[in-house]
Amino acid sequence: MPATTRDLPHPDLADVELTEVLFALSDPSRLELVRLIARDGPQTVANCQAVDPAALKSTFSHHLKTLREAGVVRNVPAGRQRMVSLRRDELDERFPGLLDSVLRQAETRARRRDQSRVT
Amino acid sequence: MPATTRDLPHPDLADVELTEVLFALSDPSRLELVRLIARDGPQTVANCQAVDPAALKSTFSHHLKTLREAGVVRNVPAGRQRMVSLRRDELDERFPGLLDSVLRQAETRARRRDQSRVT
Protein backbone atom coordinates (compact mmCIF):
# COMPACT_ATOMS: atom_id res chain seq x y z
CA MET A 1 0.00 0.00 0.00
CA PRO A 2 1.54 3.37 -0.96
CA ALA A 3 2.28 5.74 1.93
CA THR A 4 -0.25 8.29 0.75
CA THR A 5 -3.29 6.07 1.30
CA ARG A 6 -2.00 5.21 4.76
CA ASP A 7 -1.96 8.86 5.85
CA LEU A 8 -5.27 9.69 7.46
CA PRO A 9 -6.58 13.26 7.85
CA HIS A 10 -6.30 14.89 11.28
CA PRO A 11 -8.23 18.09 12.04
CA ASP A 12 -6.64 21.27 13.33
CA LEU A 13 -7.77 21.50 16.98
CA ALA A 14 -8.85 25.10 16.33
CA ASP A 15 -11.56 23.72 14.04
CA VAL A 16 -12.84 21.16 16.55
CA GLU A 17 -15.95 21.96 18.58
CA LEU A 18 -16.21 21.16 22.28
CA THR A 19 -19.34 19.08 21.60
CA GLU A 20 -17.40 16.86 19.14
CA VAL A 21 -14.80 16.08 21.80
CA LEU A 22 -17.49 15.41 24.42
CA PHE A 23 -19.25 13.09 21.98
CA ALA A 24 -16.01 11.24 21.15
CA LEU A 25 -15.42 10.66 24.88
CA SER A 26 -19.05 9.70 25.61
CA ASP A 27 -18.71 6.05 24.59
CA PRO A 28 -17.38 3.60 27.22
CA SER A 29 -15.01 1.79 24.80
CA ARG A 30 -13.64 5.03 23.37
CA LEU A 31 -13.17 6.54 26.83
CA GLU A 32 -11.40 3.40 28.04
CA LEU A 33 -9.07 3.54 25.04
CA VAL A 34 -8.24 7.20 25.71
CA ARG A 35 -7.64 6.39 29.38
CA LEU A 36 -5.18 3.60 28.52
CA ILE A 37 -3.26 5.70 25.99
CA ALA A 38 -3.12 8.57 28.50
CA ARG A 39 -1.73 6.18 31.12
CA ASP A 40 0.56 3.93 29.05
CA GLY A 41 1.50 6.11 26.07
CA PRO A 42 0.97 5.54 22.32
CA GLN A 43 -0.30 2.10 21.33
CA THR A 44 -0.44 0.06 18.14
CA VAL A 45 -3.92 -0.33 16.65
CA ALA A 46 -3.75 -4.04 17.56
CA ASN A 47 -3.13 -3.17 21.22
CA CYS A 48 -5.93 -0.64 21.15
CA GLN A 49 -8.30 -3.34 20.02
CA ALA A 50 -7.55 -5.30 23.20
CA VAL A 51 -9.59 -2.69 25.12
CA ASP A 52 -12.76 -4.31 23.84
CA PRO A 53 -11.86 -7.72 22.33
CA ALA A 54 -15.53 -8.59 21.86
CA ALA A 55 -16.14 -5.60 19.57
CA LEU A 56 -16.50 -6.13 15.84
CA LYS A 57 -13.52 -4.87 13.86
CA SER A 58 -15.80 -2.44 12.03
CA THR A 59 -17.13 -1.07 15.34
CA PHE A 60 -13.59 -0.62 16.59
CA SER A 61 -12.50 1.12 13.37
CA HIS A 62 -15.45 3.45 13.75
CA HIS A 63 -14.39 4.27 17.33
CA LEU A 64 -10.86 5.11 16.20
CA LYS A 65 -12.24 7.26 13.40
CA THR A 66 -14.55 9.14 15.78
CA LEU A 67 -11.63 9.86 18.14
CA ARG A 68 -9.36 10.93 15.28
CA GLU A 69 -11.95 13.18 13.64
CA ALA A 70 -12.67 14.87 16.98
CA GLY A 71 -8.96 15.66 17.30
CA VAL A 72 -8.55 13.41 20.36
CA VAL A 73 -6.02 10.97 18.86
CA ARG A 74 -3.49 10.73 16.07
CA ASN A 75 -3.38 7.52 14.06
CA VAL A 76 -0.19 7.35 12.00
CA PRO A 77 1.74 4.64 10.14
CA ALA A 78 4.76 3.20 11.97
CA GLY A 79 6.47 0.57 9.86
CA ARG A 80 3.93 -2.12 9.09
CA GLN A 81 1.76 -1.09 11.98
CA ARG A 82 -0.16 2.01 12.95
CA MET A 83 0.36 3.95 16.18
CA VAL A 84 -2.42 5.70 18.05
CA SER A 85 -1.44 8.58 20.34
CA LEU A 86 -3.32 11.14 22.39
CA ARG A 87 -3.18 14.79 21.23
CA ARG A 88 -2.95 15.79 24.86
CA ASP A 89 -0.97 19.04 24.68
CA GLU A 90 -3.11 20.35 21.85
CA LEU A 91 -6.33 19.34 23.62
CA ASP A 92 -5.16 20.94 26.87
CA GLU A 93 -4.42 24.15 25.03
CA ARG A 94 -7.75 24.24 23.20
CA PHE A 95 -9.95 22.94 26.07
CA PRO A 96 -8.06 23.68 29.32
CA GLY A 97 -8.84 21.28 32.14
CA LEU A 98 -11.32 19.20 30.16
CA LEU A 99 -9.26 16.09 29.48
CA ASP A 100 -7.72 16.14 32.98
CA SER A 101 -11.13 16.22 34.55
CA VAL A 102 -12.54 13.47 32.30
CA LEU A 103 -9.47 11.24 32.75
CA ARG A 104 -9.50 11.67 36.54
CA GLN A 105 -13.10 10.45 36.60
CA ALA A 106 -12.34 7.63 34.18
CA GLU A 107 -9.44 6.47 36.39
CA THR A 108 -11.66 6.46 39.49
CA ARG A 109 -14.26 4.48 37.59
CA ALA A 110 -11.67 1.97 36.33
CA ARG A 111 -10.23 1.50 39.85
CA ARG A 112 -13.71 0.80 41.25
CA ARG A 113 -14.37 -1.68 38.46
CA ASP A 114 -11.06 -3.49 39.00
CA GLN A 115 -11.63 -3.63 42.76
CA SER A 116 -15.07 -5.13 42.31
CA ARG A 117 -13.53 -7.78 40.02
CA VAL A 118 -10.93 -8.73 42.65
CA THR A 119 -13.34 -9.03 45.57
CA MET B 1 -53.55 16.34 35.22
CA PRO B 2 -52.93 14.67 38.60
CA ALA B 3 -49.67 15.63 40.33
CA THR B 4 -48.29 12.09 40.11
CA THR B 5 -48.08 12.02 36.32
CA ARG B 6 -46.32 15.39 36.40
CA ASP B 7 -43.51 14.04 38.57
CA LEU B 8 -40.71 12.78 36.32
CA PRO B 9 -38.04 10.33 37.49
CA HIS B 10 -34.58 11.71 38.32
CA PRO B 11 -31.62 9.37 38.74
CA ASP B 12 -29.41 9.27 41.80
CA LEU B 13 -26.11 10.80 40.64
CA ALA B 14 -24.27 7.81 42.14
CA ASP B 15 -25.92 5.66 39.46
CA VAL B 16 -24.98 7.95 36.57
CA GLU B 17 -21.96 7.06 34.43
CA LEU B 18 -19.46 9.69 33.26
CA THR B 19 -20.13 8.70 29.64
CA GLU B 20 -23.87 9.46 30.05
CA VAL B 21 -23.07 12.99 31.25
CA LEU B 22 -20.56 13.53 28.44
CA PHE B 23 -23.14 12.33 25.92
CA ALA B 24 -25.84 14.61 27.37
CA LEU B 25 -23.47 17.59 27.01
CA SER B 26 -22.26 16.59 23.53
CA ASP B 27 -25.17 18.16 21.62
CA PRO B 28 -24.90 21.90 20.82
CA SER B 29 -28.53 22.68 21.80
CA ARG B 30 -28.30 20.75 25.06
CA LEU B 31 -24.96 22.33 25.94
CA GLU B 32 -26.34 25.82 25.20
CA LEU B 33 -29.32 25.13 27.46
CA VAL B 34 -27.07 23.96 30.29
CA ARG B 35 -24.89 27.05 29.81
CA LEU B 36 -27.87 29.41 30.07
CA ILE B 37 -29.30 27.70 33.16
CA ALA B 38 -25.83 27.75 34.76
CA ARG B 39 -25.58 31.48 34.01
CA ASP B 40 -29.15 32.69 34.63
CA GLY B 41 -30.55 30.12 37.06
CA PRO B 42 -33.59 27.80 36.75
CA GLN B 43 -35.84 28.39 33.74
CA THR B 44 -39.36 27.45 32.73
CA VAL B 45 -39.58 24.84 29.98
CA ALA B 46 -40.97 27.55 27.70
CA ASN B 47 -37.88 29.71 28.30
CA CYS B 48 -35.62 26.72 27.71
CA GLN B 49 -37.22 26.23 24.32
CA ALA B 50 -36.08 29.71 23.29
CA VAL B 51 -32.50 28.35 23.13
CA ASP B 52 -33.34 26.71 19.84
CA PRO B 53 -36.64 28.16 18.56
CA ALA B 54 -36.32 26.33 15.25
CA ALA B 55 -36.23 22.90 16.92
CA LEU B 56 -39.30 20.68 16.76
CA LYS B 57 -41.10 20.39 20.10
CA SER B 58 -40.44 16.62 20.08
CA THR B 59 -36.70 17.18 19.52
CA PHE B 60 -36.64 19.66 22.35
CA SER B 61 -38.51 17.29 24.70
CA HIS B 62 -35.99 14.62 23.83
CA HIS B 63 -33.12 16.99 24.71
CA LEU B 64 -34.68 17.75 28.11
CA LYS B 65 -35.24 14.04 28.72
CA THR B 66 -31.60 13.22 27.83
CA LEU B 67 -30.33 15.89 30.24
CA ARG B 68 -32.70 14.75 33.01
CA GLU B 69 -31.88 11.05 32.61
CA ALA B 70 -28.14 11.82 32.72
CA GLY B 71 -28.68 13.62 36.03
CA VAL B 72 -27.69 16.99 34.57
CA VAL B 73 -31.00 18.81 35.16
CA ARG B 74 -34.09 18.57 37.30
CA ASN B 75 -37.46 19.14 35.64
CA VAL B 76 -40.17 19.70 38.25
CA PRO B 77 -43.72 21.07 38.25
CA ALA B 78 -44.07 24.67 39.43
CA GLY B 79 -47.71 25.74 39.38
CA ARG B 80 -48.93 25.42 35.84
CA GLN B 81 -45.44 25.42 34.46
CA ARG B 82 -42.38 23.25 34.81
CA MET B 83 -39.01 24.50 36.02
CA VAL B 84 -35.69 23.18 34.75
CA SER B 85 -32.68 23.57 37.05
CA LEU B 86 -29.07 22.39 36.96
CA ARG B 87 -28.01 19.72 39.49
CA ARG B 88 -24.73 21.57 39.86
CA ASP B 89 -23.74 20.73 43.44
CA GLU B 90 -24.50 17.05 42.94
CA LEU B 91 -22.65 16.96 39.61
CA ASP B 92 -19.64 18.75 41.13
CA GLU B 93 -19.53 16.21 43.93
CA ARG B 94 -19.82 13.21 41.61
CA PHE B 95 -17.61 14.51 38.77
CA PRO B 96 -15.30 17.16 40.30
CA GLY B 97 -14.21 19.84 37.85
CA LEU B 98 -16.06 18.39 34.87
CA LEU B 99 -18.96 20.82 34.60
CA ASP B 100 -16.73 23.83 35.41
CA SER B 101 -14.37 22.89 32.63
CA VAL B 102 -17.15 22.26 30.10
CA LEU B 103 -19.02 25.45 31.01
CA ARG B 104 -15.87 27.56 30.81
CA GLN B 105 -15.32 26.30 27.27
CA ALA B 106 -18.97 26.79 26.38
CA GLU B 107 -18.84 30.40 27.63
CA THR B 108 -15.73 31.11 25.54
CA ARG B 109 -17.46 29.59 22.53
CA ALA B 110 -20.62 31.64 23.11
CA ARG B 111 -18.65 34.88 23.48
CA ARG B 112 -16.82 34.23 20.21
CA ARG B 113 -20.11 33.49 18.48
CA ASP B 114 -21.76 36.65 19.84
CA GLN B 115 -18.75 38.79 18.85
CA SER B 116 -18.79 37.43 15.32
CA ARG B 117 -22.49 38.32 15.11
CA VAL B 118 -21.86 41.90 16.19
CA THR B 119 -19.00 42.57 13.79
What are the CA-CA distances from residue A5 to residues A78, A86, A102, B81, B82 (Å)?
Answer: 14, 22, 33, 57, 54
Compute the mean pLDDT over every residue in chain A, rounded to the nearest whole number: 91
Query: Residue A1 pLDDT more than 70?
Result: no
Query: Residue A14 pLDDT more than 80?
Result: yes
Residue B16 DSSP SS3: coil
Q: Helices in B1-119 by DSSP H: which ranges?
A: 3-6, 18-25, 28-40, 45-49, 57-69, 88-94, 98-118
What is the model's pLDDT at position A93? 95
Tens-digit pLDDT string for chain B (119 aa): 444 568 899 999 999 999 999 999 999 999 999 999 999 999 999 899 888 888 888 899 999 999 999 999 999 999 999 999 999 999 999 999 999 999 999 998 888 888 887 76
Closest CA to B70 of B7, B5, B8, B25: B25
What is the model's pLDDT at position A111? 87
Query: Residue A117 pLDDT more than 80?
Result: no
Residues 55-114 of B with CB under 8 A from A: 95-98, 100-102, 104-106, 109
pLDDT tens for A32-61 read 999 999 999 999 998 998 888 888 888 999
**CB–CB contact B102 A18 (8 Å):** yes
Q: Residue A70's closest chain B neighbor by CA? A: B26
**CB–CB contact A23 B18 (8 Å):** no
Using a CB-CB cut-off of 8 Å, the residues of chain B touching A26 are 19-20, 22-23, 26
Interface check for B51 against chain A (CB to CB < 8 A): the answer is: no
Of A17, A22, A104, nearest to B22 by CB-CB distance is A22
What are the CA-CA distances from residue A108 to residues A14, B31, B95 (Å)?
Answer: 30, 25, 10
- For A80-93, letters b (16+ CB in 10 Å) and e give eebbbebbbebbee
Using a CB-CB cut-off of 8 Å, the residues of chain A touching B109 are 17-18
Q: What is the mean pLDDT of residues A71-91?
A: 96
What is the model's pLDDT at position B50? 85
Using a CB-CB cut-off of 8 Å, the residues of chain A touching B101 are 95-98, 100-101
Q: State ipTM.
A: 0.91
Q: Residue A28's closest chain B neighbor by CA? A: B19
For residues A52 and A7, give the distance between their C-alpha atoms in angstroms, rounded to a whole number. Answer: 25
Interface check for B2 against chain A (CB to CB < 8 A): the answer is: no
Interface check for B17 against chain A (CB to CB < 8 A): the answer is: yes
For residues A37 and A48, give the distance between their C-alpha atoms in angstroms, rounded to a whole number. Answer: 8
